[in-house]
Amino acid sequence: MIIRTFLVDDEAPSRRELRFLLEKHPDCRIVGEAGGGEEALDILADLPVDVLFLDIQMHDLDGLSVARQLLEQNRLPLVVFATAFDAYALSAFDVHALDYILKPFDPERLEATWRRVRERLAQQTGLDEHLAELKALLLSREPLSAVRTGPDEWTGGAPGGLRGKALAEPPAWMEEPAAPPTEPGAGSSCAGNGSGISGSNGQERHRAFDRVAANKEGKLLLVDVSKILYATVEGRKALIKVDGELLELNLTLQELEDRLDPDRFCRTHRAFLVNLSAIREIVPWFNGAYNLILHDKSEVPVSRHYARQLKDLLGL
């Protein structure tokens, strides 16, 4: 997949540096640049892009204003904000690999950001969640500096910048309308197996499957469930992450959950199931929510509705 990328910065050296670093990725195609916010809006009126690298502090129109105007015109792509020293924005955005980069650009951080861009664009649900989160931020009346810092109930206040920081209001995709998971014995939200075990929808679960059939290049590929890192959803169909790619199943996410072992897979979000053995790191996120970093560096959200259950399963 070619990712159409547009750079907006009023400092030409910064644009050149960012272009140099991004063009190392074969899937990145720089389709244009702008030296200011007004110029960017003029160009983007007729130029479709997938991701926008947008400086926050510019001489004519700041990056947040550019994003707001694109949002109002329903033309807002995936956005990565950048700045040299904007501390209030850093507090709001710089939580793990959120789409925010600090000047001078760190190649490793930019690498992590590009991985996130790639994954978000690979699945429409991820892009929708990002846009909902960004829309809530841009249209909020609250200042970006409204953050809290304090000990986290999971880590006990882990040191080091991003841990223990959270936005005053969680992003939209962390705030689920769904009810919290039911108590054990009343139907778990984790994958289930065996006859007579009730699922989260109140239906009796199927037995646990060792393999599932995924669609690939017009064929059905039988996948060992132990190789599934996580599952998500696109439309009504479930997608599974296996060997670096997302494969579609002829199942809904709920149907997949009902066919998986509850000791190995758990619901972390209305749109995500995770293989517990694939979790490498747990990062505090927003107001009781978390972000899981998997062994392949994929990121899976844990909404606060499901956090308690996941901690119980992991013995934390």
Q: Report pLDDT digits (tens) over 201-241.
A: 444 445 678 899 999 888 899 999 999 999 988 767 889 99
Query: What number does CATH give the domain 3-144?
Result: 3.40.50.2300
**Residue 100 vs residues 54, 56, 216, 260, 315: alpha-carbon distances, Å:** 9, 10, 34, 36, 33
Query: Do residues 35 and 9 lie in contact, with contact meaning Cβ atoms separated by under 8 Å?
Result: yes
Query: Do residues 281 and 314 lie in contact, with contact meaning Cβ atoms separated by under 8 Å?
Result: no
In the three-class reduction of DSSP (H, G, I as helix; E, B as strand; rest coil), residue 95 is classed as coil
Query: Residue 278: pLDDT above 90?
Result: yes
- Tokens representing 301 are 């959200």
173-177: average pLDDT: 44
- Tokens representing 192 are 């289930």
Tell me, what's the pLDDT at 27?
Answer: 93
30-43: average pLDDT: 93
Q: Which residues in the chain are classed under CATH 2.40.50.1020?
A: 185-314
Q: Which residues in the chain are classed under CATH 3.40.50.2300?
A: 3-144
Residue 187: pLDDT band by 50, 70, 90 thresholds?
Answer: very low
Residue 159: pLDDT band by 50, 70, 90 thresholds?
Answer: very low
Q: How many CB atoms lie within 10 A of CB 248?
A: 14
Residues 72, 307: Cα–Cα separation, whole Å: 34
Query: What number does CATH give the domain 185-314?
Result: 2.40.50.1020
Question: What is the DSSP pairing of strand 100-102 with strand 78-83?
Answer: parallel
Residue 7: pLDDT band by 50, 70, 90 thresholds?
Answer: very high
Residue whose C-alpha is closest to residue 80's, from 5, 3, 144, 27: 5
Tell me, what's the pLDDT at 315?
Answer: 77
- The residue ranking higher by pLDDT, 88 or 83, is 83
